Amino acid sequence: MRSLSPLLAEARAHRGSSLAQRLFSRRGGTLFVRNTIVSTFVFLLGLALLWLLVERLGVPKVRAVALSFLVSNSVHYAFGRTWIYKGTERRLVPGYAFFLINAVVGLGATVGLFAAFVEIGMHYLLARVIASVFVGLGLFVLNAVFNFRSL
Over residues 5-47, the pLDDT tens digits come to 555 555 555 566 788 888 889 989 999 999 999 989 998 999 9
**Statement: the pTM of the whole predicted model exceeds 0.85:** no
Cα(9)–Cα(17) distance, rounded to whole angstroms? 14
Over residues 61-112, the pLDDT tens digits come to 999 988 998 898 889 999 999 999 888 888 888 998 998 898 888 889 989 9
Tell me whether residue 57 is exposed, middle or buried, using C-beta atoms within 10 angstroms of its C-beta: 0 to 12, 13 to 18, 19 or more.
exposed
pLDDT recorded at residue 1 = 41
